[in-house]
Every structure is written in structure tokens, then in C-alpha cells.
Amino acid sequence: MRLLGRTSLTGIPLLALALTAPAQGADAPARSGPARITIYNNEFALVSETYLFRTAKGAGRISLEGVPRRIDSTSVRLKSDGFRVLRQSFRYDLWNAERVFRNFLGDSIAYRYGGKRYQGRLVGVDGDDLFIERRDSVGVLTMMKRSQITELEFPSKRALATRPSLVWDIESPAAKEKVPGELSYITSGMQWTAEYSAVLDESERSVALT
């Protein structure tokens, strides 16, 4: 006799996985070994990873790009014997037009209108309307439509993240090329199901599960 079924558990891990590291840039922290992922019900998973970080002596900053968009930022923990975490933040303000204008509010910009290039300070944003103090018109506030501007240049001092990123301000006793750190966090959006078969022997005293 063959029985078919599907797992349905509550409050306990459904599956533990080990995933190999993806390709990363030369300056990015290097993952040391596979990631360990424990998947629970309700699309939640606990992820544990070990990375090798580059540190400078004293105060410094390290970052990790490409973390899951649906990460629970309050669950993130980074532990290391080689440095002390002072502050932790999650950058999720990815590039889009609205965030760009909001991010550079109050900064000097250059723009092209009617075939001419102008410079000024972005002092207000209201939907499609931009309020600019032009450099060649002191004390004059100009309101323009975004659609009327053919080119915009923003300063590069405050870049938005291109991918969801974790950033830590740290303090390290020494400058080192490879300092191990253990990262763990909870994220949502993961599911796992398992189908199995049960074969009952002729004596009906034992079952083989596959």
C-alpha cells in the first residue's frame, strides 16, 4: 500500500539548507563557507552566514550589498572577535525619481532647459513641480516642471543604494585584511514543501518513507 502526503508543521523548522556563496566584487566582504538557511512556516527563514571583512584600525565602516529586500532589519546581528559594532543601519532607499529629488533637496544642481545650461539650488519638490533658486537670479525662486527639463546633474556626495544594503559603523583594534564575522537575520518570502510516499510492507508492521 502506498500513501501520499505533504508536510504541514507549525512553529518548528521545516528545512535547513546550505547554499554556496554568489559571485561578489573584489572590495565586497567575502563569504566564508556556505550560508545556513532554516525555513519555518509562514514564509519566514533564519539565515546565518560567515563573512571575511577588511578593517582599518580605529573607527571604520563596513557594508554588505544585495541582502534580501524583505529582511527584518531588527533581527540583524553581526558578531566578531575582531571588531566591535557601534551602529547598524539598513539601506533600502533604492534609486527612483522621487527619492532622488528628495535626497538632494537643498543641494546645488545643474540642469538644461530650452537648450541652455543653468545652475542653482533645489529648494522644494511638490509632485512634478521643482522649486529652484537659480545662481544667475539671486533672490528669485523659479518653479519648473520636471518634464520641461531635459538634463539634470546632481552632486555625487550622497548616493542612494543600488541594492538593499546593510551598513555597520565599527571599531577595530587593528587593520586586517580578513576578519571573520558571523551574520544572522530573519527574512520573509521563502517557502518549502515536501511530498513523501509511505510503503507499508506485506505484514503491515513496518513502513518505508521516501
Task: Please compute the mean of the pLDDT values over residues 22-36 and round it to a whole number.
Answer: 70
Maximum mean pLDDT: which of 6-20, 113-127, 137-151: 113-127
CATH number at residue 131: 2.30.30.100
Do residues 116 and 68 both lie within one domain? no
Whether the predicted pLDDT of 6 surpasses 50: no
Do residues 197 and 114 both lie within one domain? no
State the pLDDT confidence band at 17, using cuts at 50, 70 and 90.
Answer: low
Domain range spanning residue 102? 97-153
Across the chain, mean pLDDT equals 82
pLDDT in tens, 63-89: 898 888 889 989 999 999 999 999 998
Do residues 22 and 125 both lie within one domain? no
* pLDDT value of position 94: 62
Do residues 77 and 29 both lie within one domain? yes
Task: Please compute the mean of the pLDDT values over residues 171-181 and round it to a whole number.
Answer: 93
Q: Which of 130, 153, 176 is the last residue of a domain?
A: 153
* pLDDT value of position 5: 40
Do residues 127 and 186 both lie within one domain? no
Do residues 79 and 181 both lie within one domain? yes
pLDDT in tens, 83-139: 999 999 888 766 677 777 887 888 888 998 888 999 899 999 888 899 999 888 777
> How many domains does one find in the chain?
2
Look up the pTM and report it. 0.59
Do residues 204 and 167 both lie within one domain? yes
Do residues 90 and 103 both lie within one domain? no
Do residues 18 and 88 both lie within one domain? yes
Whether the predicted pLDDT of 8 surpasses 60: no
Spatial contact of 80 and 128, defined as CB atoms under 8 Å apart = no
* pLDDT value of position 95: 67
Query: Cα 27 to the chain's mean position, in Å?
Result: 17
Task: Please compute the mean of the pLDDT values over residues 26-55 and round it to a whole number.
Answer: 86
Do residues 16 and 85 both lie within one domain? yes
Q: Which of 117, 136, 153 is the last residue of a domain?
A: 153
Q: Which of 153, 178, 195 is the last residue of a domain?
A: 153
Do residues 75 and 101 both lie within one domain? no
Closest CA to 111 of 152, 146, 77: 152
Do residues 85 and 107 both lie within one domain? no
